[in-house]
Structure 1
C-alpha cells in the first residue's frame, strides 16, 4: 500500500503563532512529520482566542491550523525551560518560527550559533517585511503585507475604499513558501549532509502574488486599478448578475468569447462585431462591451446561464456561499474534507497516488504534552 505519510520520521519544532508558521506546521503534520508546537504558557497561540466560534474551548481557527501537532508550553525566561528548548532544537530536523524580531535572541537563541552547533538543522524564519531594509524591524500581519505589497490596491472596486482579500492569503502563502523551502533544503541535505537557513516573509509572499501586475508596471509604467471580480488583462472574465444570483464567466480567449456570444440570447451581433474579435481590443472597449453582456445575462437565471454556456463549453460557475461550498457535491467528491478529532476540516489540496495525506489528528489543548516532555527530559 502507498505510504501516505511521506515525512514520517521528520521532527519539526514550531515556534509559531497566528497563521503563517502554524499553517506550515499543519502541512508538515498532515504529511506525517512530528510537529512539536511550543507555546507561551500564559497565553498560548494567539489564534486560540480568535473566535467565536469556539470548539472544545479554542477558536475553530486554531483547530483548523493545528491538527496533528503536540503542544508544549515553555517560558523562555525560565532557565530550565530555555534549556529544554535548546535541547529540542538540537534534536529536531527543522525549526519553524515567526516570533517577533529579536525575541529569540533576547533569550540567548541566535540562529547563526544554532546552525553552527547543529550543522544538519534546517532553520526556517518567517518574518514580516524581510531581514533588511527600513521596515525590517516592523511587526506585521497579513493585512499589512496585503497593503504594502500592492494586493489591496488591485482588490475591490475602483473608486471605493480599500478591500483586503477575504482570507489570510499572505499568511498562508508564507507558510507554503516555508514548506517549499524546507523540503528543498531537506532534499539538499540528503545530498550534502548539511542543514540550511530558510527565510521568507509576508512582504515577499505578497510581492510574489503580485508578479503579473508588477511585471506590467515594469514594462509599461501602468499602475493597475481594482476591477472588482474582473481581471485587467482579459475581457470578459468576471461575475455577472443573473435574475436570481451571480454567475462567474471566464471567456479566457477569443474562441471562447465567440462561443459565449453564440450561447447567450441577444449577443449574436456582438460576436460578429470585429471590434470585439480580439481580447486586446475587448480590454480597451471594456466599458462598451460589458454592459451588453450584463444585459443578456440579466434576462436569465443562474441555471439557465450555466446550461447555455455549458452547451458551448464556456467556463462558468455560480458564486457559492460558504455553506453551499461545504455541502457541494464536488467538495464531497474530491474528498478534501478530512476527519480530525471527530470533526471534519479542510485537508491538503493535493493527493499522492490518489490518497490525500492526513494525520487524522486533532489540535492539541494548551500544554497537552507537557508531562510527557518533562518526564523524558528531566
Structure 2
C-alpha cells in the first residue's frame, strides 16, 4: 500500500448527484482526497434510488460512484444548512456541483459567492450542455447527449436504428475530465495561490470523445455510416461469429497483420487479391471481404480460432460477456476487482481505479456511505451541533 496517496490533504466538498459529479469525486477520493458528500436530509443523492439492481436496499448505481467518501446531510435551502456548508468550504480546496444552470447562484453557492469565503477554492461546475446558450435550461442526461453529439448516429448495425453506447460515456467521460481538470487547477494554484472556476459539460466531452471520427468529418464534411462492431478506417476490423455461435474480434490494423490473418485462415492467396491489396481497398470492398471471412470462420468454434490466430500473433480476442470479462485471466491477474466491507451489506466486490501507484492498487478506505452517516462526525470537527445544521 502506498505510504501517502497523491491527494492526501486535499478536501473536496461535493454537492453533485447521480453520475458525472460523483464519478469525478470518487476518482479524487480514490487518489486520497477527503471527499465530503453533501446530501439532502431524508432524500440523499438521487442515485440512491436509481436503476433496478440493488444489494439489499442499496442501488448498484450509488455503490459504484461513492466509495471513499463521507456523507453529511444538510438542507441547503435552510440558512443554517448553508452556513454549515460555508464553514466546511472555508477550509476546503475543491467544490463540485452539477446543478441545473443558475441553481447554485440561487442557493448562494455560485463561484462569486464562494470565492469570497475561500479565494483559493477550485470550483468545478459540471452541466449537461453548458452554463449558458440555447440549451442551458433544458434537462439533459446520457442518452440525450449521445443523441445530440452524433455518437448515437454512428453506433449500431448498418441496417438498424441508431443505438445508445452500452455505457454512459458522456457521464463517465465528463467525470474523468473534471477530475483531471481539478488536479491541473490544484497544480496551478500551488504556483499562483489563486483558485479558479472550471466549467465542463457532457455535450462538449462526448463530441471531444469522438476523436478521429470528428476530425474525419471536419476534413470530408461527410456523415459516417453505422458499421456495427466494424471500424470505418480499417478492415477486417470487427467481430465475427464462429461455428458455436460465439464471437471473436479480429483487428488487422496494418498490412503485416492482414498477411498473418490470411496465413492463419489457410488462404494466403487472399492477401494477393487486388480487391484487398491495401487497407483502402479492403475498406472499399468491405462487404465482399467480410462475407468471405465469415464463411471461413463459420467452420470452427471460437476457441479453436483463438488458438490458431493467437499462435501467429494476430490481434484477436473473444467478445466476452460481462461474466467472462470480470473472470478473464488477465483481469484477475491485474486485481482490478477489489473487495470491501460495507456496514450493512457485508463483503462486496467493486471495480477499483485503473491505476497502480508504486505497484499497488489504491485502497478502498471507506465503503459507500449511508445517508448522513458522517454528519455528526463532521459537525463535531467544525464545533457545530446537529441542531445548527
Report the TM range for the smaller structure's normalisation. Answer: over 0.9
Identify the residue that residue 369 of structure 2 maps to in structure 1. Answer: 364
Deviation at 1:109, TM superposition (A): 2.0
Identify the residue that residue 256 of structure 2 maps to in structure 1. Answer: 255
Deviation at 1:327, TM superposition (A): 1.9
Q: Work out whether residues 86 and 117 of structure 2, in 8 Å CA contact, stay in contact via their aligned partners in 1.
A: no
Following the alignment from structure 2 to structure 1, what is the Cα–Cα distance between the partners of residues 105 and 379? 24
Following the alignment from structure 2 to structure 1, what is the Cα–Cα distance between the partners of residues 55 and 275? 57
Counterpart of 1:355 (choices 352, 355, 360) is 360
Identify the residue that residue 171 of structure 1 maps to in structure 2. Answer: 171
The unaligned stretches of length 5 or more in structure 1 are none
Identify the residue that residue 38 of structure 1 maps to in structure 2. Answer: 38
Q: Work out whether residues 16 and 99 of structure 2, in 8 Å CA contact, stay in contact via their aligned partners in 1.
A: yes
Q: Displaced runs of 4+ in structure 1, greater than 4 A?
A: none
Following the alignment from structure 2 to structure 1, what is the Cα–Cα distance between the partners of residues 22 and 86? 20
Deviation at 1:116, TM superposition (A): 3.8
Deviation at 1:135, TM superposition (A): 1.1
Identify the residue that residue 309 of structure 1 maps to in structure 2. Answer: 309
Identify the residue that residue 211 of structure 1 maps to in structure 2. Answer: 211
Deviations 1:308-338 (A, max 9, x none): 1112111111111111122222211001112
Question: When the two structures are superposed, what TM-score results if normalisation uses the length of structure 2?
Answer: 0.94
Identify the residue that residue 121 of structure 1 maps to in structure 2. Answer: 121
Deviations 1:245-270 (A, max 9, x none): 100111111110111000013x3221
Q: Work out whether residues 32 and 358 of structure 1, in 8 Å CA contact, stay in contact via their aligned partners in 2.
A: no
Following the alignment from structure 2 to structure 1, what is the Cα–Cα distance between the partners of residues 292 and 4? 51
Question: What is the SS of the residue equivalent to 1:224?
Answer: coil
Following the alignment from structure 2 to structure 1, what is the Cα–Cα distance between the partners of residues 204 and 115? 24
Moved more, 64-73 or 127-136: 127-136
Deviations 1:205-240 (A, max 9, x none): 111111211211111112011110011011011000
Identify the residue that residue 275 of structure 2 maps to in structure 1. Answer: 275
Q: Work out whether residues 29 and 359 of structure 1, in 8 Å CA contact, stay in contact via their aligned partners in 2.
A: no
Q: Work out whether residues 5 and 358 of structure 1, in 8 Å CA contact, stay in contact via their aligned partners in 2.
A: no
The unaligned stretches of length 5 or more in structure 2 are 342-346
* Aligned 1:212-231 pairs, distance under 5 A: 212-231=212-231
Q: Work out whether residues 154 and 162 of structure 2, in 8 Å CA contact, stay in contact via their aligned partners in 1.
A: no
Question: When the two structures are superposed, what TM-score results if normalisation uses the length of structure 1?
Answer: 0.96
Following the alignment from structure 1 to structure 2, what is the Cα–Cα distance between the partners of residues 117 and 206? 34
Following the alignment from structure 1 to structure 2, what is the Cα–Cα distance between the partners of residues 335 and 157? 34
